[in-house]
């Protein structure tokens, strides 16, 4: 078993030259063709990362192209109405991402002359951009030698080390393992390995290019359960606040509705208090607005 301490140590020559070469060779042969992989445009990369935050890649593909057709630069989005973006966002879920991206575009336009920042600290100041997204932009647009830990990479790291990892340690390991000068290939390779070979259930250890270096190797309790970056089970969508909010946002994308109709639209006719709370939440989040007794999409800010 690998030794995981405050200072990162690896067992099984993890991080050694053979391991790095094996993974990069496999990555070059097995790369999935995804539209955001053919660009280094930092705005396109940022958009793809925000879209991918809580939505499956297969659903993001078409929307990503459509988004960039509509708003090819931060300046284009900054000058658009938020309501237009929210209409576009229907079906993707988690519309706070849209509002944050709109605000980020305005910040980029006003404070950075329309260019997506190149420094981690400046990226982290953009609305909706957390450590994962900031690092992803640094790697996939600017090719900086950094690691990034999402659900998939968190699973790989825990399995390689046969240890549940705290977030700080997982990030340290991810940074330390990056092949210098090849961070783009390296990190995409980790995503592909996790998505196609080292899957959540039934990892294909026999076909894994780095199985000689993996401490877990699919035997016994999965160390990825509960480890850093590895997502927990989501609440069912049916009957959730998320579903009710989504129904209201979708209805508003078709046009304004009377406030008295909101509960029915959300399927909450018998839960008026809950419906009122959800409407208030959406308004407080700047996603919908009142105009008299009528509800509208957006924040009415010109
Ligand atoms: S050997 Fe198995 S558990 Fe280890 S990285 Fe490969 S697929 Fe995952």
Q: How far apart are CA 301 and CA 236, in angstroms?
A: 34
User: Among 8-12, 178-182, 220-224, 234-238, whose mean pLDDT is lowest?
Assistant: 8-12
pLDDT tens by residue, 21-40: 999 999 999 999 999 999 99
Query: How far is ligand 1, taken at its centre, from the CA of residue 232, in Å?
Result: 20
pTM, rounded to two decimals: 0.91
Nearest residue CA, atom 3 of ligand 1? Answer: 217
Rounded Cα distance, 180 and 186, in Å: 9
List domains and CATH numbers for the chain.
41-140 (1.10.340.30), 147-213 (1.10.1670.10), 241-297 (1.10.10)
**Residue 49 a catalytic site member:** yes
Q: What whole-number distance in Å separates Cα of residue 269 and Cα of residue 272?
A: 6
Position 233 scores a pLDDT of 64
Please give the Cα distance from 155 to 197 (Å, whole number). 12
Instruction: Report which ligand 1 atom has the smallest distance to the Cα of 197.
Output: 7
Please, what sign has the CA dihedral across residues 110, 116, 122, 124? Answer: positive
pLDDT digits (tens, 9 = 90+) for 33-81: 999 999 999 999 999 999 999 888 889 998 999 999 999 999 999 999 9
CA of 192 to the centre of ligand 1 (A): 13
- Ligand 1 environment, Cβ below 6 A: 156, 159-160, 197-198, 203-205, 208, 210-211, 214, 216-218
Site to substitute for ligand 1 among 159, 161, 199, 202, most atoms within 8 A of C-beta: 159
**Tally: H helices and E strands in the chain:** 14, 3
Q: Is the pLDDT of residue 113 over 50?
A: yes
40 C-alpha vs ligand 1 centroid, how far in Å? 30
Kindly report, residue by residue over 279-292, the tens digit of the pLDDT: 999 999 999 999 99
Average pLDDT over residues 206-234: 85
Distance 137 CA to ligand 1 centre (A): 27
Atom of ligand 1 nearest to the CA of 211: 1
Q: Whose CA is nearest to atom 8 of ligand 1?
A: 198
């Amino acid at each position: 078993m690998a030794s995981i301490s405050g200072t990162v140590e690896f067992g099984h020559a993890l991080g050694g030259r053979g391991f790095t070469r094996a993974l990069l060779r496999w990555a070059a042969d097995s790369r999935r063709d995804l539209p955001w992989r053919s660009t280094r445009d930092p705005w396109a990369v940022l958009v793809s990362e925000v879209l991918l935050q809580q939505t499956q890649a297969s659903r993001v593909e078409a929307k990503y192209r459509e988004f960039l057709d509509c708003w090819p630069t931060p300046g284009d989005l900054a000058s658009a109405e938020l309501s237009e973006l929210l209409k576009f966002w229907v079906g993707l879920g988690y519309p706070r991402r849209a509002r944050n991206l709109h605000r980020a575009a305005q910040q980029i336009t006003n404070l950075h002359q329309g260019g997506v920042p190149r420094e981690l600290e400046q990226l982290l100041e953009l609305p909706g951009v957390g450590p994962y997204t900031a690092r992803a932009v640094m790697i996939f647009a600017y090719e900086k030698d950094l690691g990034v830990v999402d659900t998939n990479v968190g699973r790989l790291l825990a399995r390689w080390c046969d240890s549940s990892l705290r977030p700080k340690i997982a990030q340290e390991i991810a940074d330390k393992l990056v092949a210098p000068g090849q961070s783009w290939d390296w990190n995409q390779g980790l995503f592909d390995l996790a998505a196609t070979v080292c899957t959540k259930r039934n990892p294909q250890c026999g076909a894994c290019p780095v199985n000689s270096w993996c401490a877990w190797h699919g035997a016994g309790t999965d160390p990825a359960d509960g480890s850093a970056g590895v997502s927990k089970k989501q609440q069912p969508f049916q009957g959730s606040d998320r579903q009710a909010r989504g129904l209201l946002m979708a209805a508003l994308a078709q046009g304004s509705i009377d406030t008295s109709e909101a509960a029915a639209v959300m399927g909450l006719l018998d839960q008026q208090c809950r419906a009122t709370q959800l409407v208030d939440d959406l308004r407080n989040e700047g996603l919908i607005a009142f105009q008299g007794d009528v509800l509208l999409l957006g924040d009415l800010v010109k």
